Amino acid sequence: MLAIVCPGQGSQTPGFLTEWLDVEGVAEHLQALSSITERDLTAHGTTSDEETIKDTAVAQPLIVAAGLVTARALFGSSLPAGAVVAGHSVGEITASALAGAVDEADAMNFVKVRANAMAEAAAAAPTGMAAVLGGDPDEVLVKLDELGLTPANANGGGQIVAAGTMEQLAALGENPPAKARVIPLKVAGAFHTAHMQPAVGILEELAGTITPKEPAETLLSNFDGKAVADGQANLDSLVAQVSRPVRWDLCMQTLAEAGVTGVLELAPAGTLVGLARRGLKGVKTLAVKSPADLEAAKTFIAEHTAN
């Protein structure tokens, strides 16, 4: 069984889409998505510097667009039948579009509004996120609670992402949990926490203008790791996700229980297959980072969708 996963914010790197522009149809597709988001995603994926693409208002549309254009280059107009689809944080929007739960245009408009609203919320106070690697999970959670930090991402594989004010994160770095490392992340705010609550109302209003659809393939939710019940439940979850923790650990648990044998990550790939290697022992992985990976990806898909 194949799982197709879509990464979240922080996975982008300068120039990561440069080679993709040589693939037939990608440049045109990316231009169309740029028009919806009112961002030059071609420039941001090829020539913009690290500081520019770290900006939430740029990073989120760029990451969703990257997943959509690389998916079309690989799959064409439809995903392999029987695949399970999931996305981490903003990648859940990519996954929703690929699974057919929202139209591509609606997905890009949603991420544009989401990014702008979250950037505005993040500008209200200096906040951020840091990965806590290793340590006893219970001890890590106790430490975060002591400092007033939120476990914004439970990623599995020995990784919990803490979010809060820069002062709180500095205190965590100075006194980390036993046997744990704290690594600051390249994001511009405390996402998936109460700091993002102002963005929720904006997205609730937008959601009222979107007509959701039934997912064509199994689509997992960041909320509880389970398959979404229907298109409306998925849309509601996308709105609420902005200010509540991402439970990627539960998504991986569902993949394991479903008997997934292969995890394929779309561009900008690398983060989620890394978590899968640690949290899904024995499951094969493949990161589609560049067009050079397309042939290997097609073979991988065939291997993991065989009857």
CATH number of the domain enclosing 104:
3.40.366.10
Tokens of 70: 């690389």
Looking from the CA of 59 toward its CB, the CA atoms found within 13 Å total 25
- Type of residue at 199: A
Q: Which domain holds residue 179?
A: 127-184
Question: What H or E segment, with its residue span, contains residue 93?
Answer: helix 91-98
Do 150 and 287 share a domain, yes or no?
A: no
Model confidence pLDDT, tens digit, residues 112-167: 999 999 999 999 999 999 999 999 999 999 999 999 999 999 998 889 999 999 99
Q: Do 141 and 287 lie in a common domain?
A: no
State the catalytic residue, choosing from 29, 88, 192, 195.
192
Q: Give pLDDT < 50 ranges for the chain.
A: none
What per-residue confidence (pLDDT) applies to 154? 94
DSSP summary character for residue 229: S
pLDDT computed for residue 277 by the predictor: 93
| Catalytic annotation present for 44 | no
Q: Do residues 171 and 149 make contact, with C-beta atoms less than 8 angstroms apart?
A: no
Catalytic, 89? Answer yes
41 in Cβ contact with 70 (< 8 Å): no
**What CATH number is given to the structural domain containing 176?**
3.30.70.250
Q: What is the pLDDT of residue 186?
A: 76
Query: Do 292 and 247 reside in the same domain of the chain?
Result: yes
Residue 257's pLDDT is: 96
> Kind and range of the H or E element at 242?
none
DSSP string for 19-64? GGGGSTTHHHHHHHHHHHHTS-HHHHHHT--HHHHHSHHHHHHHHH
User: What is the C-alpha separation between 33 and 72, in angstroms, rounded?
Assistant: 13
Domain count within the chain = 2
Q: Are residues 209 and 244 in the same domain?
A: yes
Catalytic residue among 11, 34, 48, 89: 89
Residues 98 and 226 in one domain: yes
Task: Using DSSP, state whether 137 is helix, strand or coil.
Answer: helix
Are both 36 and 106 inside the same structural domain?
yes
H-type helices in 100-258, by residue range?
104-122, 137-147, 166-174, 197-207, 231-240, 248-258
Cβ–Cβ < 8 Å for 159, 103: no
Same domain, 237 and 284: yes
Residues 200, 294 share a domain: yes
Specify whether 142 is located in the same domain as 6.
no
Tell me the pairing of strands 127-134 and 180-184: antiparallel
End-to-end CA separation in angstroms for the chain: 9
